[in-house]
């Protein structure tokens, strides 16, 4: 049985930990509100813009107008791994890295063996995981979350888009957490480039469902709208991951606080039992001593 001092020290340590986890939960909750507002405001705009571009591109077959839709054999692949800068968020980062490993083993094992899989990391945790395992990280944006805004995010998007246009990559994949609510995040593995075109049951492009009047020309409009839409989709994925991170951390810290509370109950019970045992031992020693004196 541990001594009273040892139990007291453990109680103080767990108390301190509980205060820290409670404070971290409150900080995560405050950050989550802002992050959740940002992604809920971004989603309708991003989805509507994507739908409009898919609708327009349904009647365009010219790759010169839409070079980001040019299909090539996926010999060279860039995987964008979006994680957080810090831990203490449950399985938030581990789920992303597991999804990346699974993707490599199931779909891109040939490219990986040939050294044709490269990585872009957003967030320190994913960068640390990949560099420790000697993967080819050719672009990292580990400071992006310290100042998260569209201008900083579009620089990362432009790197991937430029690499695709110049033929350094035949396919660009995003792996990140999609935010649903505080307790639930889904791992998304989606193709960023080339653009996924909407097709009918016969494999042909769906016909345009809305008539548009183009002013100026289609080529000029697409030259402006497609890169902007891609950057917005990229920024949306980062916002999804940011909101998911704070939700996961809030949930993890809430559970840690509850666990500390349960542990404190057990430690206080052990402390009381140990204290009672010590008191009983002292009483027995006193009684034994008194009896010894009386018999002498």
**Can you spell out the DSSP letters for 103-172?**
HHHHTSHHHHHTT-EEEEEESHHHHHHHHHTT--EEEE-TTGGGG--HHHHHHHHHHHHHHHHTTS-SEE
Confidence category of residue 206, pLDDT binned at 50, 70, 90: low
Confidence category of residue 71, pLDDT binned at 50, 70, 90: confident
Q: Are residues 230 and 275 in the same domain?
A: no
Q: Are residues 128 and 268 in the same domain?
A: no
Q: Are strands 77-82 and 171-181 parallel, antiparallel or unpaired?
A: parallel
What is the structure's pLDDT at 258? Answer: 95
pLDDT tens for 93-132 read 999 999 999 999 999 999 999 999 999 999 999 999 999 9
> Tokens at residue 77, please?
């692949």
What is the structure's pLDDT at 107? Answer: 95
What is the structure's pLDDT at 296? Answer: 66
pTM, to two decimals: 0.86
**Can you spell out the DSSP letters for 163-221?**
HHHTTS-SEEEEEEEEEEETTEEEEEEEEEESPPPPB-TTSSBPPPSS----SS-HHHH
Last residue of a domain, one of 252, 267, 285: 252
Q: Are residues 73 and 210 in the same domain?
A: yes
Q: 124 and 142 in contact (C-beta within 8 Å)?
A: yes
What is the structure's pLDDT at 84? Answer: 95
Q: Are residues 176 and 63 in the same domain?
A: yes
CB contact set of 151 (below 8 Å; sequence gap of 6+) = none
CATH number of the domain that residue 37 is part of: 3.40.1380.10
> Tokens at residue 1, please?
């049985």
pLDDT tens for 36-60 read 999 999 999 988 887 777 776 666 6
Q: Are residues 37 and 14 in the same domain?
A: no
Confidence category of residue 289, pLDDT binned at 50, 70, 90: confident
Q: Are residues 11 and 51 in the same domain?
A: no
What is the structure's pLDDT at 201? Answer: 52
Indicate whether 204 pLDDT > 90.
no
Distance in angstroms (rounded) separating the CA atoms of residues 112 and 27:
40
Q: Are residues 30 and 140 in the same domain?
A: yes
Number of domains observed in the structure of the chain: 2
What is the structure's pLDDT at 198? Answer: 56
| Mean pLDDT in residue range 223-250 | 93
Q: Are residues 215 and 279 in the same domain?
A: no
Q: Are residues 48 and 190 in the same domain?
A: yes
Q: Are residues 166 and 288 in the same domain?
A: no
Indicate whether 8 pLDDT > 70.
yes
> Tokens at residue 182, please?
């505080």
What is the structure's pLDDT at 3? Answer: 82
Confidence category of residue 151, pLDDT binned at 50, 70, 90: very high
Q: Are residues 81 and 13 in the same domain?
A: no
What is the structure's pLDDT at 51? Answer: 79
DSSP symbol at 72: -
What is the structure's pLDDT at 208? Answer: 53
Indicate whether 293 pLDDT > 70.
yes
Environment class of residue 45 by beta-carbon count within 10 Å: exposed (0-12), middle (13-18) or buried (19+)? exposed
Q: Are residues 147 and 291 in the same domain?
A: no
Residue 55's domain comprises 24-252
What is the structure's pLDDT at 202? Answer: 52
Indicate whether 199 pLDDT > 60.
no
Number of Cβ atoms within 10 Å of the Cβ of 3: 10
């Amino acid at each position: 049985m541990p001594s009273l001092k040892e139990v007291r020290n453990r109680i103080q340590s767990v108390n301190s930990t509980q205060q820290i986890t409670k404070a971290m939960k409150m900080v995560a909750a405050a950050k989550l509100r802002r992050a959740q507002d940002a992604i809920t405001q971004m989603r309708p705009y991003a989805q509507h813009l994507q739908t409009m571009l898919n609708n327009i591109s349904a009647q365009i077959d010219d790759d010169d107008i839409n070079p980001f839709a040019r299909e090539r054999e996926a010999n060279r692949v860039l995987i964008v791994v979006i994680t957080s800068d810090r831990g203490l968020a449950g399985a938030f980062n581990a789920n992303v890295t597991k999804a990346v490993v699974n993707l490599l083993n199931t779909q891109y094992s040939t490219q990986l063996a040939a050294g044709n899989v490269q990585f872009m990391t957003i967030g320190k945790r994913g960068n640390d995981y990949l560099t420790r395992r000697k993967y080819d990280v050719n672009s990292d944006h580990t400071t992006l979350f310290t100042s998260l805004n569209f201008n900083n995010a579009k620089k990362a998007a432009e790197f991937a888009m430029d690499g695709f246009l110049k033929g350094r990559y035949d396919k660009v994949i995003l792996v990140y957490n999609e935010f649903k609510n505080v307790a639930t995040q889904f791992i998304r593995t989606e193709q960023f480039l080339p653009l996924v075109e909407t097709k009918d049951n016969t494999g042909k492009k769906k016909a345009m469902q809305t008539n548009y009047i183009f002013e100026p020309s289609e080529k000029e409009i697409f030259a402006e709208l497609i890169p902007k839409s891609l950057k917005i989709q990229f920024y949306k994925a980062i916002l999804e991951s940011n909101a998911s991170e704070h939700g996961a951390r809030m949930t993890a810290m809430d559970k840690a606080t509850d666990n500390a509370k349960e542990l404190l109950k057990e430690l206080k019970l052990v402390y009381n039992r140990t204290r009672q045992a010590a008191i009983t031992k002292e009483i027995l020693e006193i009684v034994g001593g008194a009896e010894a004196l009386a018999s002498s």
